[in-house]
Structure 1
Amino acid sequence: MADHSFLDWPFLSEAHHDLAGHVRGFAEESFGSGGFLHHGDIDAECRDILAGLADAGITRYAVPVAYGGATETLDVRSLCLVREHLAYRSGLADFVFAMQGLGSGTISLFGSDAQKSAYLPDVAAGKKIAAFALTEPDAGSDVSALALSAQRDGDGFVLNGEKTFISNGGIADFYVVFARTGEAPGARGISAFIVDADNPGLKTAERIETIAPHPLARLAFTDCHVDEDALIGEAGSGFKYAMSTLDVFRSTVAAAALGFARRALDEALGRAQSRQLFGGTLSDLQGVQSQLADMALNIDASALLIYRAAWAKDSGAPRVTREAAMAKLFSTETAQTAIDTAVQIFGGLGVTKGSVPEALYREIRALRIYEGASEVQKLVIAKQILGGG
């Protein structure tokens, strides 16, 4: 089983230790060894998982305590622990929890009291599915290039344009949407809005299938009217809000990768110690021992980077851009390598559909892209160290 000694590190409190045990127990009971197997209707499966997470009180960690949450503010260490332990058992369960947090995160951080009261309690209770709509066909890593427009119109705004690769697209109850309002060029002319899924100007234009099944869609906004009270915070501050939200949740992507890597190591260990060949087991071979050692080394290094970034944010750092970028870059890249190693150790079984290594191989790939691709994380880190940030 995965090494849990990291829970005793000074980054984490007794409450975090208890939370990890609770989530681990929930995930083991709910998913067992079959959490990476899916049976057709992913939308329904996501709704079922969300109900289970809500019943277990886990979705409460996605919002502040004043609105039905479990912690006074968004506690990044708690978010990371939940994602790590869910990802170990089920990539889809990790996805469902993550989107409740990311999808409502901008409201938690910058929304008005009325907005928080209207949405966050239902997010915590699993009654509303949240989504974060930032990416566009021609604006992914370069958020400042987004083109979806929001023009003032009497008592509100009218949105026109598209979003794509939107997680929970097609099943969300509301979207936090970033649109160009034009107060200034580039990043300074973007605002954030809450758009309910039943708005007649919003349509799911296309469902997008990926190698690891998740609800994903392209959204079309056509003369989509929202009232003034749908605007989050100040007009023109949307880019800052998006980056601050990602600053909180980027470390949690790394934590999900860590959960996948821990599962890959455990699967590889089991296989190496049981597979007989050449008069012994795979684990007797020095080459395999070296591979397992590399996996363990990178897992511990990932955990240190992740919980350093999370601890720094929870301790009051206004931004952890450098720390979160390092955690995401290193953890997702090394998890990809660890999972590839597990596939190799499993041999033909590792690429057999339905095996855990095969499922992990599909799950990990997107994490190196979303919430800032690895290449972008390197630019972020370089900018931080060159600028003395």
Structure 2
Amino acid sequence: MSAFALTGEQRAYVRQVREVAVAELVPLAERGVEGTVNRPLLAAMGRHGLLARLFGGTGRSAAAMELCLLRETLAEVCTDAETALALQALGSYPFVLFGTDEIAARYSDGVAAGTVVASFALSEAEAGSDAAALALRAEPDGDGWRLTGEKTWISNAPEADVYTVFARTTPHARARGITAFVVPGDAAGLSGEHLDMLAPHALGRLTFDGVRVSAADVLGEVDGGFKVAMRTLDVLRPSVGAFAVGMAQAALDAALSHTTRRQAFGGPLSDQQAVSHLLAEMATRVAASRLLVYAAAAAHDAGEPPDQLTRQAAMAKLFATESAQYVVDTAIQLHGARALQRGHLLERLYRDVRAPRIYEGASEVQRTIIGRSLVQAEIARHENARADTRQEG
């Protein structure tokens, strides 16, 4: 049996999520307006307890494996629902993990019910992969701060009810000078606009014109916001891979269905060796991606050392998102022009699959994380070996 075979309880959970997605979430997603928050969809996910599964209890995020199963299953059926759930997790985990009891109590129940829309406001025009280069200013104002500047490519903006905002409290200190704040969506001086993106999800630009935040709105410690951001991303990174696995599985299923039914050159298209080899490569990449994602999630839930968790999560996200891009692209190639028609499953997946290779750490960043981790581990191994030799001598 595979080390990552699902238990009976997990398989039942996956079936339940799939049934809800097919029966109720897909129709709601289809009625939504592209590029905006679909509140009826969120409310339905709340009623069925899907959003509540983001939280493992007071002050805790969900178990990584459970989150991965939830995201993978939703992605196979309804990418809109998966994205809505993921953005709720991204926006709320900072105050669940680092907020005071008062902050968590103020927002968590609403996020779980789908009545409060949360957002993670980290990226800026000149601070994407280099998150430590933030320029949004938090200037002292009595016992609090005033936020001035812009954020862009922000999830659920400008419609969110609450934002986790990362701002610079100490100039020229890079990662050591960033603080995380909770900011209500209706705060005075906060405005925004939608962005028209390739994948039709709710993303926008925010403008902060002296937005007032208090000491009670700080998540974690002053100048400790970079830790809040990285911890949140570490928790979610394996599940980004799960999102990619779900999309890749949907594309593989579509390719198998099409090529075994499509008649060409005197028989099913799948009889062509070139086609069967492509299907084999697609299936192998999906299976390998799933194993990497499950391994990273299991390591997280088992409480393995942070450096190992970061490396495994980076490997899972890197391989799964890059593989999903390949699988979706190949499925389109096997379908031909019909897959490029607006509204076709693969046309939608083609737009959705591109972004995960960029957000929450681009593929190049993941390679840097993995390489640096490997080198540091090897250096530590050599130093420990030399120390052991000196003790023996």
TM-score (norm 1): 0.92
Residue aligning to 2:13: 19
Task: Find the aligned partners of 1:384 and 1:38 in 2 and give their Cα distance.
Answer: 45
Residue aligning to 2:297: 310
Paired residue secondary structure (1:290): helix
Task: Find the aligned partners of 1:270 and 1:193 in 2 and give their Cα distance.
Answer: 49
Where do 5+ consecutive residues of structure 2 fail to align? 379-393
Alignment of 1:1-389 (within 5 A): 9-10=3-4, 12-31=6-25, 40=33, 42-43=35-36, 46-66=38-58, 73-182=61-170, 185-204=173-192, 206-319=193-306, 320-388=309-377
The structure number with the bigger radius of gyration is 2
The residue identity in structure 1 corresponding to 2:253 is D
Deviations 1:208-258 (A, max 9, x none): 111111111010001110121110111111101110110001111111111
Deviation at 1:198, TM superposition (A): 0.3
The residue identity in structure 2 corresponding to 1:148 is L
Residue aligning to 1:3: none
Q: Residues 309 and 324 of structure 1 are in contact (CA less than 8 Å); yes or no, is this contact kept in structure 2?
A: yes
Deviations 1:308-341 (A, max 9, x none): 1111111113521111111111001110000011
Q: Residues 25 and 41 of structure 2 are in contact (CA less than 8 Å); yes or no, is this contact kept in structure 1?
A: no
Q: Residues 99 and 168 of structure 1 are in contact (CA less than 8 Å); yes or no, is this contact kept in structure 2?
A: yes
Deviation at 1:278, TM superposition (A): 1.3
TM-score (norm 2): 0.91
Task: Find the aligned partners of 2:366 and 2:354 in 1 and give their Cα distance.
Answer: 16
Q: Residues 4 and 294 of structure 2 are in contact (CA less than 8 Å); yes or no, is this contact kept in structure 1?
A: no
Paired residue secondary structure (1:226): strand
Paired residue secondary structure (1:64): strand
Deviation at 1:41, TM superposition (A): 5.2
Task: Find the aligned partners of 1:192 and 1:318 in 2 and give their Cα distance.
Answer: 25
- Number of residue pairs aligned between Structure 1 and Structure 2: 376
Deviations 1:328-383 (A, max 9, x none): 11001110000011101111101111111111111101111111111111111111
Deviations 1:4-25 (A, max 9, x none): xx9x754754443332222111
Change (3 A) 1:225 1:11: farther
Deviation at 1:37, TM superposition (A): 5.1
Deviation at 1:64, TM superposition (A): 3.3
Paired residue secondary structure (2:96): helix
Deviations 1:247-295 (A, max 9, x none): 0011111111110000000100110011111110101111110011011
Paired residue secondary structure (1:102): helix
Deviation at 1:61, TM superposition (A): 1.4
Task: Find the aligned partners of 1:270 and 1:21 in 2 and give their Cα distance.
Answer: 21
Task: Find the aligned partners of 2:140 and 2:162 in 1 and give their Cα distance.
Answer: 21
Change (3 A) 1:288 1:35: farther
The residue identity in structure 2 corresponding to 1:145 is A
Residue aligning to 2:390: none
Task: Find the aligned partners of 1:265 and 1:303 in 2 and give their Cα distance.
Answer: 13
The residue identity in structure 2 corresponding to 1:371 is E
Q: Residues 4 and 295 of structure 2 are in contact (CA less than 8 Å); yes or no, is this contact kept in structure 1?
A: no
The residue identity in structure 2 corresponding to 1:87 is A
Task: Find the aligned partners of 2:96 and 2:62 in 1 and give their Cα distance.
Answer: 8
Cα-Cα RMSD? 1.9
Task: Find the aligned partners of 1:189 and 1:15 in 2 and give their Cα distance.
Answer: 45
Task: Find the aligned partners of 1:266 and 1:38 in 2 and give their Cα distance.
Answer: 25
Task: Find the aligned partners of 2:301 and 2:219 in 1 and give their Cα distance.
Answer: 23
Paired residue secondary structure (2:283): helix
Deviation at 1:125, TM superposition (A): 1.3
Deviations 1:28-87 (A, max 9, x none): 22256x78856645536x2111011111100001223237xxxx6421111111111111
Q: Residues 69 and 242 of structure 2 are in contact (CA less than 8 Å); yes or no, is this contact kept in structure 1?
A: yes
The residue identity in structure 2 corresponding to 1:187 is A
**Identity between Structure 1 and Structure 2 (%):** 44
Task: Find the aligned partners of 1:36 and 1:18 in 2 and give their Cα distance.
Answer: 24
Paired residue secondary structure (1:43): coil
